[in-house]
Amino acid sequence: MKHTMRWYGPKDPVSLMDIRQAGCSGVVTALHQIPVGAVWTVEAIKERISIVEKDNQNYSALTWDVVESLPVHEDIKKALPSREKYIENYKTSLRNLAACGINTVCYNFMPVLDWTRTQLDYQMPDGAKALRFVHIDFAAFEIYILKRPGAEKDYDEATLAEAKIRFETMTEEEKSNLKRNVMQGLPGSDDAFDFDTFLELLAEYKHIGDKELRENLYYFMQQVGPVATEVGVNMCIHPDDPPRPIMGLPRVLSTESDVAQLFAAYDNPANGLTFCTGSFGVRPDNNLPQMVKRFGNRIHFIHLRTTKREEDPRNFHEAPHMAGDVDFYPVVEALLLEQKRRMEAGEKVTAIPMRPDHGHQMLDDLGKTTYPGYSAIGRLRGLAELRGMEIAIKRQIESI
């Protein structure tokens, strides 16, 4: 695999040198400064490439391997008439990226929110901090803090009763932390992001159910897919996180069958997958090694991370990479066998870019402010463990 790390750009407290010294040969980044829906110009892309490559003469080389993400405008997800303009812009960005030699583009199709957690500093037994999702806290948030109309309808009696008690016993500080944590998953969120705007965004999905969102995703892929194919860009959708509907919003990329349906809607390798073990792995009904075997040639990017379901299995926290619900051995083995297949078939990309996804906040990073899940040392630990496993399995495959 090609080892990479996410880099949020020049403002990221984790430097390119940190990423290099973690043992990576590439980064995954995005032009976060460009508003969603606007074209990524060749000039802006080239500028970022030159920043990534600036120390390549003096140190081991880093390359920009994957765009994570080229975000999809909400109007496309909602199938508004203005989607045509945003789809055209998306195509232009794909052409521009290809012209600059960047051929792997990650995106997601989650309405309004991206990833969602209720706690960003869950203390692990060793004192490190992890991201966590607590079902009752989330219910308490949307019913009593956000006050989403109709939220109660999404919960059973027992959950509603528990959420009520939870809210009533929460301190003001806990309430404001919960609000801040959930809102972190909103692209571009900040303290100024008010609930009224948020509720309006949610309400705009009132008439969009599972079926409609699927149609809108497939339409998007059918439109941009031919351009991606023509210019040699592999698109790779990121699964929903958590992989189930939340806040009354449909989610259409959570399971093996969701992936299969999307692939059938535009049957071409350019319509591919970001295989995120952390997101898919939250559901016990997702068989990860089986998914790798089935979708192998469509996996263009890999996120390796695991969560641990808690006593209440609707809750999960992000576990150490080798100690969660994902059994990495068969997953990594299946991925390496896919690479072997590509090599033998003489395909262009034989080392699939992977990044250790998220990591605990630990050691020196406990005192620093970093992007939630993206501190340096926790990811370095995850990468080191995964790399060891990869080397061992590779040896084993070669010796067969």
Which chain residues interact with ligand DNO by CB under 6 A?
68-69, 106-108, 114-115, 238, 303, 373
Between 36 and 51, CB nearer to ligand DNO: 36
Q: Is 329 a catalytic residue?
A: no
Q: Least distance to ligand DNO from the beta carbon of 255, Å? A: 16
Q: Out of 73, 135, 321, 358, pick the active-site residue.
A: 358
**10 Å Cβ neighbour count for 163?**
23
Q: Least distance to ligand DNO from the beta carbon of 198, Å? A: 18
CA distance 78 to 217: 9
CA distance 280 to 255: 7
Q: Are 113 and 154 in contact (CB under 8 A)?
A: no
Q: Least distance to ligand DNO from the beta carbon of 109, Å? A: 9
Q: Out of 266, 357, 360, 365, pick the active-site residue.
A: 357
Between 279 and 339, CB nearer to ligand DNO: 279
Rg over alpha carbons for the chain, rounded to the nearest Å, is 21
Q: Is 312 a catalytic residue?
A: no
Q: Out of 303, 317, 321, 360, pick the active-site residue.
A: 303
Q: Rounded to 5 degrees, what are φ and ψ at 120?
A: -110, 0
Q: Least distance to ligand DNO from the beta carbon of 104, Å? A: 12
Q: Rounded to 5 degrees, what are φ and ψ at 138?
A: -65, -40
Between 27 and 106, CB nearer to ligand DNO: 106
Between 114 and 215, CB nearer to ligand DNO: 114
Q: Are 358 and 124 in contact (CB under 8 A)?
A: no
Q: Is 126 a catalytic residue?
A: no
Q: Least distance to ligand DNO from the beta carbon of 278, Å? A: 7
Q: Out of 3, 73, 135, 238, pick the active-site residue.
A: 238
CA distance 195 to 180: 12
Q: Least distance to ligand DNO from the beta carbon of 317, Å? A: 14
CA neighbours closer than 13 Å in the CB half-sphere of residue 85? 8
Burial label for 102, CB within 10 Å (0-12, 13-18, 19+), is: buried
Between 242 and 296, CB nearer to ligand DNO: 242
Between 357 and 390, CB nearer to ligand DNO: 357
Q: Is 358 a catalytic residue?
A: yes
Q: Out of 86, 107, 266, 374, pick the active-site residue.
A: 374
Reference 183, options 199, 167, 205, 169; nearest CA is 199
**10 Å Cβ neighbour count for 207?**
8
Residue 343: in which H helix or E strand, if any?
A: helix 328-345
Q: Is 106 a catalytic residue?
A: no
Contacts of 194 (CB under 8 A, 6+ apart): none
Q: Is 3 a catalytic residue?
A: no
Which residues have a catalytic role annotated?
238, 276, 303, 357-358, 374
